[in-house]
Structure 1
Amino acid sequence: MSGYVTQPNTRIQFLPTATLILMGLVFGLVMGLGAPLFTLDLTDRGYGAGMVAANSMMHALGALAMAPFMPLLATRLGPRRAIFLALVGGSVTLLLFPLSSSIWPWFPLRILLGAFCEIILVLSESWLNQITDNHARGRVMGLYSTLLSVGIAIGPALLSVTGRQGNLPFWGTAAILLVAAAATLPPWMVTPPPAAPTQHKLLRYLWLAPIAITATLLIAMLDGAATSFLALYAIQSGWSERAATLLLSVMLLGATVMQVPIGWVGDRTNRRYLLIILALMACGGALLWPMAIRQPALAYPLLFVWDGAFASLYSVAMAAAGNRYRDGDLIAIYALCSLAWGIGSFTGPAISAAAMQASPHGLALFAATLCGLFALLPLLLKKSV
């Protein structure tokens, strides 16, 4: 195994692992704080929902544009240097936003920010995956995903502390990135030796790691759909706006709480079987939504467990990929997963909106169908897990 997991000093092993896990928290904080900051700032300037959406899409465009270059970037610079430069670059980019009196420079700046965030996310997660032993990989990757979710949740709260007016939110977020950049510099942050992917074409990895990539696509499609339309689905079923919002929060809490325990199970059992069970749980849980939505006492625990099982599909699938692939191959898989995430984020809400127009319970049927289809992959592709 590459990296310092083979070194005898457990303190040295712990420090880089903890640093990279906290990188997930930092990434989540920046995303959770930045999204409402940009939206509200644009609204204050008098721009409508169309302009807000167009500007938000620039972040995704930057991430998608950077994804194919991730293996080359990791090989040329190494993960540590690339992450350091991306953190510094993201910090400088954030400082440029309040300097512009016009909205138009915000579009290329958000593309840049999306590209820098893509580097931070892909290389920190793949680096962490590589240096973690297989017996702990599920828990570690689950913890990374959990802290990322916690960071996204804390971000808006930090915005309420700093206040939204003036430059302080931009300066504060930039400072967080600079602190994270400094955390990559200590000598114990040793990276595995750079290695190019064994496949020359990125799409080849779609056949080598179909379950990890499809799991990412599934998570992106349903995560965007659920966060966008679950509250609306509850309101249309007779819930108050406050109760519907609380239902969404309880659902997201399930993903935060359950990923580490499920990762622990994955470290001690066959991950292929676990993926099948989790996908069937997500499918069955979604089929129960129409019944549970009529009774809040059932809806709250059901959505909590549902999102915990559903969100864990990603961390379990990536832990399995980390056990099979290393170095440049693993980074290439993460890069392709990023492309899948972008596609899913764009298509999921649109398809779910059409499903809700076709049926009152279209969101539930859409979720159940996707999860049921995904369960077939580890069932049929035995050698891919």
Structure 2
Amino acid sequence: MTKALDPRHHAPKGSGTGLLAVFGSTLFQLSGVFMLSPLMLVMLKEREVSTTLAGLFAATTWLGIFIVTPFASAITQRWGRRRAMWFASGVPLAAAIGFMATDHLGLWFALELLAGIAGGMRWVLAEAFIAEFSPPERLGRTMGMYATMVGLTFVIGPTLLAWTGSSGHAALGLVITLLTIGLLWTALIPPIAPPAEPDTAHAGPRGLWLAVQQHPILMLAGFIGGFFELGLASILPLYGLTLGMGASAAALMISVSGAGSTLVAIPVGMVADRFANPVQGRRTLMVAVAAMALVCAAALLAVVRLPWIVWPVVFLLGAAGSALYTLCMTDIGAREKGNQLVNSTAVLVLNYTLGGLVASGISGALIERSATVTFPLVLMLVAGLGLGTLLKEHRRQT
């Protein structure tokens, strides 16, 4: 803990090349993945597969992430970070080739599960690499830039699919090309020198539990971030339709939330870097973001009288979720190194994903019960609990 705050802590040799390689690898990989995901759903529907089965296929990706994340640090410790990253980049490419080579539905599910496992490894490892390679004084900005780039891949992938169309092999061929380029970028990631002191961090579930104990407030903030960014985005069309919007306007709510998530990451990271006491500064920003989420959730109670208010609220809630995740990852990157960095990143990913699953799991029932009262009240409860806990911790440390 103290070593991460030591002014002698600097980015490792080759950090510029490392950052460029991780950014390039992730840009091409995720653009390919987010082009492949909707393409596979279209291909399943063309085979007249039921909507339920197609939904289970999409959920297989998240299952893979949940399977691998608790073991990411153990795998990394055994294979080494670069080799694990090669695995994370190579498996989606192999899966895409498999989708082109076979029509067997069972194999498609198996390949999608493997791709999800690789995706979970990439999620953890890429952010750990960013934290290792980034200059400490620009860590927040670098994390924000990375989060913004990831957000853009959600747009790039589907846009490329719309350009190529889903018929024939052109779309899969472009996916394979993107994933291949991403794999080549991965090969450019330089090795990280071993720490001067032995890395004694535990791997596997024990290491994850220790990370939770060391960063409980960050894990709570990560959960809330996933709740408002990942989870709400998935049910916004349903919320819009319940409010009486047309299908196009309801679907547009996802884009508005995504715009908030994408646009806020870099400014928040840059502000976090400018505090004289970065740790206290990041916690202050977390409190402010949680307060904003609470105010926005309360504003939804007025949506019946002021329908237009839903658009800025959706934008700001997406921004709040993204800001909390960016600040949490910046805080972890500033404090931890080596296996403990991988452990803490893995736990943050789990909590963020869990927050998203909880939000998407309960929001349908809440909207069905009352989209204008019960739903906002539960959002207020989540934001309020987060704000109270963060504020209490902030006051304890000042």
| TM-score normalised by the chain length of structure 2 | 0.87
Do the aligned residues in 2 keep the contact of 1:3 with 1:131 (CA within 8 Å)? no
Render the CA deviation track for 1:134-173: whole Å, top value 9, x for unaligned: 3211111111111111101211111112221223323322
Describe the shift of the 1:22–1:369 C-alpha distance in structure 2 as closer, same or farther (beyond 3 A).
farther
- 346, 352, 357: which is aligned to 1:335? 346
Equivalent in the alignment of 2:194 = 193
Aligned to 2:336: 325
**Counterpart code for 2:381:** T
Unpaired runs of 5+ in structure 2? 276-280
Asked if residue 364 in structure 1 is aligned to residue 354 in structure 2, the reply is no
Structure 2 residue 317 is the aligned partner of structure 1 residue 313: no
Match of 1:125 among 88, 107, 127: 127
Q: 1:384 to 1:94 in 2, by over 3 A?
A: farther
The letter for the 2-side match of 1:212 is L
Partner of 2:388: 376
1:360 deviates by: 2.4
More divergent stretch after superposition (328-337 vs 357-366) = 357-366
Aligned counterpart, 1:170: 172
The answer to whether 1:275 aligns with 2:276 is no
Distance 1:292 1:5 in 2: 48
Q: CA deviation at 1:6?
A: 4.9
Q: Conserved in 1, the CA contact under 8 Å of 2:29 and 2:178?
A: no
Residue 4 of structure 1 deviates from its aligned partner by: 7.3
Equivalent pair of 2:69/2:120 in contact (CA under 8 Å): yes
CA distance in 1, matches of 2:16, 2:242: 49
Could you tell me which amino acid in structure 2 is paired with residue 171 of structure 1? G
One-letter code of the match for 1:338? Answer: V
Conserved in 2, the CA contact under 8 Å of 1:141 and 1:315? yes
Taking structure 1 as reference, are residues 294 and 99 closer, same or farther at Cα in structure 2, changes over 3 Å only? farther
Aligned AA (1:303): V
Q: Which shows bigger deviation, 119-128 or 205-214?
A: 205-214
Question: Structure 1's 364 and 52: CA in aligned 2 closer, same or farther, altered over 3 A?
Answer: same
Give the direction of change, closer, same or farther, for the CA distance of 1:24–1:308 in structure 2 (3 Å limit).
farther
2:106 is paired with a residue whose SS is: coil
Tell me the equivalent position of 1:230: 236
Match of 2:252 among 198, 223, 246: 246
What is the rounded CA distance, in whole Å, between the counterparts of 1:302 and 1:59 in structure 2? 29
Contact 2:303 2:310 (8 Å CA) reproduced: yes
Which AA in structure 1 matches 2:133?
I
- Equivalent position amino acid for 1:162 in 2: T
Across the two proteins, how many residue pairs are aligned to each other?
Answer: 380
Instruction: Please tell me whether the aligned partners of residues 28 and 148 of structure 1 are also in contact (alpha carbons under 8 angstroms).
Output: yes
Contact conserved, 1:64 with 1:338, CA < 8 A, in 2? Answer: no
Deviation at 1:297, TM superposition (A): 4.6
- Compute the displacement of 1:62 (Å): 1.4
Contact 2:77 2:339 survives alignment (8 Å): yes
Q: Does 1:179 align with 2:181?
A: yes
CA 220–198 in structure 1, closer or farther in 2 if over 3 Å, else same? same
Determine the structure 2 residue equivalent to 1:44: 46
* Gap regions ≥5 residues in structure 1: none
Structure 2 counterpart SS, 1:110: helix
Per-residue deviation, residues 186-239 of structure 1 (Å, max 9, x unmatched): 3x7232427755245122211111233223322333334322322322332232
1:97-124 CA-partner distances (Å, limit 9, x unpaired): 1222221111111110001111112111
Q: Given residue 198 of structure 1, which amino acid in structure 2 is its aligned partner?
A: A
How far did 1:268 drift?
Answer: 1.3
Q: 1:331 to 1:296 in 2, by over 3 A?
A: same
Instruction: Name the structure 1 match of 2:313.
Output: 302
Superposed CA deviations along residues 313-371 of structure 1, whole A, max 9, x for unmatched, are 00011101111211110101122223324433433212111222332223322322212
Residues 23, 124 of structure 1: 8 Å contact kept: no
Structure 1 equivalent of residue 278 of structure 2: none
Q: CA deviation at 1:95?
A: 0.3
Aligned-residue CA RMSD (Å): 2.5
Which residue pairs with 1:160 in the alignment? 162
- Report the secondary structure of 1:244's partner residue: helix
Change (3 A) 1:57 1:139: same
